[in-house]
Amino acid sequence: MLTRAACFLSALIFSQLSFSQAFFQGFDLVVTNPAAAVAALNKYQESPTGEANDSNTFLYRYLANGSREATHLVVVVYPSANVMEETLALNGSSPDWLQFAEEMSAVAEIENEIIGQFIATGGDPANVTSPGRAGVIYEMTVSDPVTYLNAFNELSAANPDVMTVSYLSALLANGENPSTHNAVSWFNSPSELLMNQPQTYNGWGTFLEKISDVRTIESTAMVQMVTSWVSD
């Protein structure tokens, strides 16, 4: 299907669900017919196969993506590794999935795909409920994951009143992209995102001091949700 570690985060990333220990796939897509892509996703999600799996799917459009050609990002979130394995096996033998793949390939091309795991959440998911939510994705190479995770958690704890939710993910399969992690911060709208830059957060300077020697940002991107399919 589709992606960007973007992802990610992770996809992630991205509903008002608890993502603790969840895994995700991300697909960066170059879409030539967005309406047809949404129709194909809707058709699959409403099929017997789509209704039988416990994954949650999120479709985003890129607002800014550097030099990459991808126009959209699809993130599929699984509550556990077992559910991910079961869903992939189900799709592998499903006529519904085959038809979806054929319909999607006619209107979209995969530019990149990833697999990752959510490892930390900052803020309250209840802060971000808008169907048009926007996120900024930081893809990073992290040489000391423990130091970065501790700094991420400390920064989140120092800003309980910021109306956002952030997710930190480890990238487990990412092709030739050197990024090992991504961090995604979500806001209710693009304007809310632009007006709440992290440089204004309490403890931002301390955070930078702690992670400057262990983190390299490889890329940044901005996305906005188009629609989502969340299992019951």
pLDDT digits (tens, 9 = 90+) for 21-62: 799 999 999 999 999 999 999 999 999 999 999 999 999 999
The CATH number that applies at residue 67 is: 3.30.70.100
Query: How far is CA 56 from each of CA 70, 179, 230, rounded to the nearest angstrom?
Result: 21, 24, 5
- 15 belongs to a structural domain: no
Name the nearest CA neighbour of 7 among 185, 227, 210, 232.
Answer: 185
pLDDT number for residue 21: 75
Q: Name the domain count of the chain.
A: 1
Q: CB–CB of 4/66 below 8 Å?
A: no
Q: Is residue 17 in a domain?
A: no
- For residue 9, the model assigns a pLDDT of 39
How far, in Å, CA of 31 to CA of 212, rounded? 36
Looking at every residue in the chain, the average pLDDT score rounds to 91
User: Averaged over 91-106, what is the pLDDT?
Assistant: 97
189-201 per-position pLDDT tens digit: 999 999 999 999 9
**Domain housing 215:** 23-229
- Tell me the two tokens of residue 223: 């996305």
pLDDT-derived band at 231, boundaries 50, 70, 90: confident
149 in a structural domain: yes
The answer on pLDDT for 141 being more than 70 is: yes
91 part of a folded domain? yes
Q: For residues 185-190, give the mean pLDDT.
A: 97
